[in-house]
Amino acid sequence: MHRQLSFDQACERLRIPPQILRDAVKYSEVPCRKQGGEPIFDAAELDAWGSRRILALQLKELTPEHTASTRKDSPTLTEDILLPLLLRPEFIDIDFRAKTRKSVMRDLVDKAESLELLYDPVDLLEQIEQRENVSSTALPGGIALLHPHHPDPYLIAEPFMLLGRTNRPVWFGAEDDAPTDIFCLICCGENIRHLHVLARLCMMIRDTEVLKQVREAQTADEIAEIIYAAERDVLMRLR
């Protein structure tokens, strides 16, 4: 049985102001049940809703929440470096060969398994498919941020992010109906860090030239450095 959370615990888990969650409850946007007149949240369902919400936020809405979340993790904004801890050059495939939506998911999990990053590749693939069936993680601009439906630390040997760049874009269900050519698989295993990483990546995608630079890069090492630099750029702008 999943952990049940109070309203205050849910706000802390998602790192959002109470009014935002209160409005989501009022308009039945977030899954919950009432107990004694107060909303109670299933942690796994809340996690899934939180990830969908972050991917849907516009930059103007995302910036203050990302800034507040960053401050919670580090007293000095520029010190809250996440991506070098998750993405290494050997986790980057500049010639990703997947040709269909299904093979993208399968090939990313296979890559993670070959790198000995997984305890349960079958369950992870099911979790990723469940998440994509709810709504696509593809964003306008040609990138998808795949992740498990429910973050589970027991699926992975360590937190990681994979990146695959295709030569031939794949239709992956982006809101603008454009195909996708950059695929990231993010497995953090712990919700607060997971949502923070998603927010950080969305800030980079919407506020820097990282996608253009990743497409132009010649090597995995170059892509890694581009992504690290884009993260530093975002953190500097939060000052």
Q: Write the CB contacts of 198 (distance below 8 Å, at least 6 apart in sequence).
A: 51, 54, 55, 145, 147, 186
Give me the count of residues in the chain. Answer: 239
Question: What is d(CA 53, CA 40) in angstroms, rounded to the nearest whole number?
Answer: 19
For residue 103, name the pLDDT band (cuts at 50, 70, 90).
Answer: very high
C-alpha span between 101 and 98 (Å, rounded):
8
Please name the residue ranges forming H helices in the chain.
7-14, 18-26, 43-56, 59-73, 83-86, 101-114, 121-134, 191-207, 210-216, 220-237
Determine the Cα–Cα distance for residues 153 and 75; give it in Å rounded to an integer.
Answer: 26
Give percent of the chain with pLDDT exceeding 70.
95
What per-residue confidence (pLDDT) applies to 228?
98
Q: DSSP letters of 170-199?
A: E----TT---EEEEEEEE-SSHHHHHHHHH
DSSP designation for 4: E
pLDDT of residue 199: 92
Given a cut of 50, whether residue 220 has pLDDT beyond it is yes
DSSP code, position 92? E
Lowest average pLDDT, out of 82-96, 108-122, 147-161, goes to: 147-161
11-25, 73-87, 162-176 — which is least confidently predicted?
Answer: 73-87
Contact 146, 184 (CB under 8 A): yes
Which residues have a Cβ under 8 Å from the Cβ of 70 and sit 6 or more positions away?
A: 77, 80, 196, 235, 238
How far, in Å, CA of 208 to CA of 180, rounded? 18
| Whether 163 contacts 182, CB under 8 Å | yes
Selection from 212, 55, 223 nearest residue 138 by Cα:
55
pLDDT at 59: 66
- Residue 38: band (very low, low, confident or very high) from pLDDT cuts 50, 70, 90: very high
The structure tokens 């369950």 sit at 123
- For 111-148, how does the pLDDT look when each residue is reduced to its tens digit (9 = 90+)? 999 999 999 999 999 999 999 999 999 999 999 999 99
Give Cα separations from 66 to 43, 95, 216 (angstroms): 21, 32, 28
CA–CA separation, 218 and 232 (whole Å)? 21
